[in-house]
Chains A and B, each alone.
Chain A
Amino acid sequence: EAGVAQSPRYKIIEKRQSVAFWCNPISGHATLYWYQQILGQGPKLLIQFQNNGVVDDSQLPKDRFSAERLKGVDSTLKIQPAKLEDSAVYLCASSFAKHTGELFFGEGSRLTVL
């Protein structure tokens, strides 16, 4: 069974530039999550989708971050404009059911903002 696919694995940009990350969840998983993991910390939820609807985006900095899951399958997370403090690993995860903590994570996309 294919796992959660993410790209790119690494991205280096200058502050005020924009960046986009892509995620393809495990086939059949209706729930998709984007987490931000700053070095030395645990993952923090940015946004949760159920199919193509948003379940929780309360911790998403909406002035610069946006995410979509138009067809209820793959998803894109965008940051525009990026700040130095956005340097982190952006993890995508999926789960079969909505109210479960049993998540399957991708390898992550490491962002460095200079």
Chain B
Amino acid sequence: GQQLNQSPQSMFIQEGEDVSMNCTSSSIFNTWLWYKQEPGEGPVLLIALYKAGELTSNGRLTAQFGITRKDSFLNISASIPSDVGIYFCAGHPRASSGSRLTFGEGTQLTVNP
């Protein structure tokens, strides 16, 4: 099955710093998504990308869908303590029956005030 390689596994940063994380795959995806999970909660969708090359922002978050359709990155600018959590990338292969959303292993973000 498809596998997503997410890096880095963990990040320890100071409040106010910018953060960048990425996700790569050996398979092509039609949709890339980024979720955030806080302790004791389910993942929450942050950004969805539907077109190769697409760059989308949501407040301090910016994500891009790679031109090759095999990668995506997420940037967080001017980090704040509430950005702490695990960030998951997810890829959806195609809009057809049986296509399954695949999650990466996550990037654990710690922000020191």
Contacts and interface: CB of A to CB of B under 8 A. Distances in A.
Given A106-B42, A107-B40, A55 B98 contact: yes
A56 B103 contact: no
Contact of B101 (A4, A45, A91, A104): A45
B48 A101 contact: yes
A42 B89 CA distance: 9
B105 A55 contact: no
B58 interface: no
Interface of A is mostly: loop
B45 interface: yes
Contact of B96 (A42, A99, A108): A99
Interface of B is mostly: loop
Nearest to B1: A59
B40 A43 contact: no
Contact-residue size bin, chain A (C-beta under 8 Å from the other chain): 20 to 34
Given A55-B97, A56-B100, A108-B42, A101 B90 contact: yes
Contact of B92 (A56, A100, A105): A100
A4 B42 contact: yes
A103 B88 contact: no
A93 B103 CA distance: 14
Contacts of A93: 42
Contacts of B94: 99
Given A100-B92, A101-B33, A101-B48, A107 B41 contact: yes
Interface residues of B, number: 27
Interface in B68-111: 88, 90-92, 94-101, 103-106
Contacts of A41: 105-106
Contacts of B24: none
A92 to B, nearest CB: 8
B64 interface: no
B44 interface: yes
A44 B44 CA distance: 16
B96 A105 contact: no
A42 B104 contact: yes
Contacts of A105: 42-44
The 3 A-B residue pairs with the shortest CB-CB distance, nearest first, are A105-B42, A42-B103, A99-B95
